[in-house]
Amino acid sequence: MARRASPARLVIALGVAAMLAVFLVYTAIAGGTPQLRPSQLNGRTGEVALVGKVVGRVSGDARRGGLRFRLRDVEGTAAVPVVYKGSVPDLFKSGRDISLRGELRNGTFVGQPGTLVTKCPSKYTDKKPA
């Protein structure tokens, strides 16, 4: 005598799959870390992604006491001091556009290890018309 499979298992499996799909869509659209410029940091608490241009002198050691530099709005004058400990991309230098996750503490943005990413300026600017 053959045993018939219960349709309840199928319904439960499809329900779980649908909930996972909704969760993935939600995190892709609404979730994540807000991306801000240094001029938008004032009074902000919690983790954010900071984007801007590295300006001035870069000092310190990313492995020991932390890499120290200033990050300015790409097209502006507002800047914030940054301290970052972690791996540093090869293309990191003064004048480079970067993105970094972390939080503002006592007027200094403290970056999370492993979140520093450099951006290639030519990829993010409009092409000149021919």
**CA-based Rg of the chain, rounded to a whole angstrom?**
22
- 25 confidence band (pLDDT: 50, 70, 90): confident
Tokens describing residue 37: 């410029």
Output the pLDDT for position 105: 92
DSSP 13-26: HHHHHHHHHHHHHH
pTM of this structure: 0.69
SS3 15: helix
CA distance from start to end of the chain = 77
Tens-digit pLDDT profile for residues 72-124: 998 889 999 999 999 999 899 999 999 999 999 999 999 999 999 998 755 55
CA–CA gap between residue 129 and residue 32 (Å, rounded)? 35
Q: What are the phi and psi torsion angles at 74 (to 5°)?
A: -60, -45
**How confident is the model over 46-68, as a mean pLDDT?**
91
- 30 confidence band (pLDDT: 50, 70, 90): low
Residue 130 clears pLDDT 60, i.e. is over it: no
- 64 confidence band (pLDDT: 50, 70, 90): confident
* Mean pLDDT computed over every residue of the chain: 86
Residue 57 clears pLDDT 90, i.e. is over it: yes
The domains located in the chain, with CATH, are: 35-124 (2.40.50.140)
CA–CA gap between residue 100 and residue 84 (Å, rounded)? 9
Per the model's pLDDT, the better-predicted residue between 129 and 82 turns out to be: 82
Tokens describing residue 4: 């018939």
CA–CA gap between residue 36 and residue 51 (Å, rounded)? 6
